[in-house]
Amino acid sequence: MSTNRDSSKPIPLRPVSEPLIDRMPRRVALQTLLASVSTGFALPSTAEAQHPMHQHLANPAALEQAQQNAAVAAYTPAFLDAHQSKTLETLAEAIVPGSTNARVAPFLDQLLAVESASNQRAFLGALGAFDMAAIKTHGKAWIAISPEQQDAVLREASTADEKTSAMRAHFQNLKDWIAGAYYSSEIGMRELGWDGNVIHAELPGCTHPGGHHD
């Protein structure tokens, strides 16, 4: 795994055949949703422009390519190793239910493969922090503990003092990556109100019982 990049690089694009669903393709819908930020609407957990996920969301064409790459059935991680990829998959599902079906983990792997070295390190540090928290509390890696135990670790991290807790910062970093990935997927965009034709004004609130979307 190489992290010797000094700056973010765009995902290489190749010609993509993009079928229309009704009259508004998803790429156009995403651009419309992003444009709505200036009028008071922000994608969940991606309101802060400083987070690298926000920068990716500003490039719908690259997002589309990354999503197509991630949709391969026998996906081979481009940046994460096998354990990190599985850890991300289970973390994403716990933070934003539906993330597995939305292919959030392989999609983020595609984005991370072209990220800056500093952002890669921050992501891996956050991922490793939850593995360590699971080991410290339950004696097992994150992917080996029960959903109930995972939820308890996430609840503690998400409610910790943001001024003194490194876990709170790790949680927020991962949540912004995961939520941005989920809500830019077709599944997530339909949850936001895109029906393949129009974008509705009313957006859903958080339905996760653990309340991890703060």
204, part of any domain: no
Summarised one tens digit per residue, pLDDT across range 80-121 is 999 999 999 999 999 999 999 999 999 999 999 999 999 999
10, part of any domain: no
211, part of any domain: no
112, part of any domain: yes
Counting the structural domains of the chain, the total is 1
78, part of any domain: yes
92, part of any domain: yes
Amino acid, single-letter form, for residue 50: Q
Would you say 97 and 129 are in contact if contact means Cβ atoms under 8 Å apart? no
Structure token pair of residue 139 = 């004696």
206, part of any domain: no
Summarised one tens digit per residue, pLDDT across range 131-189 is 999 999 999 999 999 999 999 999 999 999 988 999 999 999 999 999 989 988 888 88
Amino acid, single-letter form, for residue 109: D
134, part of any domain: yes
Summarised one tens digit per residue, pLDDT across range 63-76 is 888 988 998 888 99
Residue 183 has a pLDDT of 86
Helices and strands (H, E) in the chain, number of each type? 9, 0
Higher pLDDT, 196 or 133: 133
Would you say 8 and 55 are in contact if contact means Cβ atoms under 8 Å apart? yes
Domain that holds residue 175: 26-191
Name the phi and psi angles at 199, rounded to 5: -110, 125
Helix 104-112 with 166-183: angle, nearest 10 deg: 110
Give the whole-angstrom CA distance, residue 143 versus residue 20. Answer: 38
